[in-house]
Amino acid sequence: MGPVGRQPLCKPNMNAKTEQSEFRFDGLKWLVVALLVGAGVAGNVVFADQSLLYRVIALLVLAIVAIAVAMQTEKGAALWSLMQGARTEIRKVVWPGHQETLQTTAIVLALVVVMALILWGLDSLLSLIVANIIG
């Protein structure tokens, strides 16, 4: 018997088994996505003489179905989770008000003018020095 009160070093992870069975057919799902995209491209070429509106509607439907299938994969679920996290973070951003935006813009413009004058002065000075050296 092992020491009392110690946890085993390796616990079975039931969550990993669930995830493994959930994303079991990822390769097949990506193949379906590729076939849907290929069907959209081929259909657009084959039905080039049809109305543009009908082709766009068909492509949108195929794109929605392809995205829905892709979201059922492990990478699609990870992308969805990332997008939800990004949305949450965007909500936390404190956007500047009108006055702060105007002040920041004025500061940037002033610094651009100052840097332009400095560079113009350096360029003029160096041109003068080179002209005196060359003759």
Domain ranges in the chain? 11-93, 94-135
DSSP assignment, residue 43? H
Distances (CA, A) of 35 to 31, 32, 46, 62: 6, 5, 16, 10
Confidence of residue 48 (pLDDT cuts 50, 70, 90): very high
64-81 per-position pLDDT tens digit: 999 999 999 999 999 999
Confidence check: pLDDT of 24 > 70: yes
Q: Which residue has the tokens 């920041």?
A: 104
**pTM for the full model?**
0.53
Distances (CA, A) of 2 to 5, 8, 11, 12, 23: 9, 9, 15, 18, 37
DSSP assignment, residue 24? T
